[in-house]
Amino acid sequence: MSLKDQITEDMKTAMRAKDSERLATIRLLMAALKQKEVDERVELDDAMIVAVIDKMVKQRKDSVAAFTQGGRQDLADKEAAEIKVLDAYLPQRMGADEITAEVKAIVAELGAKGPGDMGKVMGAVKTRLAGKADMGLVSAAVKAALTGA
């Protein structure tokens, strides 16, 4: 079963269970996927769907931080609940140790030395770790590997 089919089935299940919060989040996800398909005139595969979900999770994490800072805990809790629903569709994420090891291997493969090679390393890392790791952690690991920290 493709990821898109799984999301559709989960939407039907949420409708039957009258789980309005989950249903609303899944509908937002379906709308984002449909928008991407229409804009780019393509049928989304699982990798593209994971990229859309990743973007939505990042947006919600930013919103949680902003709402918490602004003293709106009710809205921050709503966004956090949406993150939980969306996280269910993402593949298992790599841990910090795994990310560091993978980044060090890529830096060694490319023979990168110093912060000037950051773009080259990030390009290789993005293709290899896209959807598998939090790119914020990956970026920090690349900086640490290139500066020798």
Domain spans, the chain: 3-87, 96-147
pTM confidence score: 0.74
* The pLDDT of residue 21: 93
Closest listed residue to residue 48, CA positions, set 4, 11, 94: 4
Q: What average pLDDT does the chain have?
A: 87
Q: Catalogue the long-range contacts made by 117-124 (C-beta closer than 8 Å, 24 or more residues apart).
A: 117/146, 118/142, 118/143, 118/146, 121/145, 121/146
Over the chain (149 residues), the average pLDDT of each successive run of 10 is: 90 94 94 94 87 90 94 94 92 80 81 76 79 78 76
pLDDT digits (tens, 9 = 90+) for 62-98: 999 999 999 999 999 999 999 999 999 888 877 777 8
* The pLDDT of residue 110: 76
Cα(108)–Cα(97) distance, rounded to whole angstroms? 17
Helix (H) / strand (E) element for 87: namely: helix 73-87
* The pLDDT of residue 148: 67
* The pLDDT of residue 81: 95
Cα(115)–Cα(146) distance, rounded to whole angstroms? 6
Please state which CATH class domain 3-87 belongs to: mainly alpha
Cα(149)–Cα(17) distance, rounded to whole angstroms? 51
The domain 96-147 is placed in CATH, from the list 1.10.3720.10, 1.10.10.410, 3.30.450.20, 3.40.190.10, at: 1.10.10.410
Closest listed residue to residue 6, CA positions, set 28, 30, 25: 30
* The pLDDT of residue 73: 94
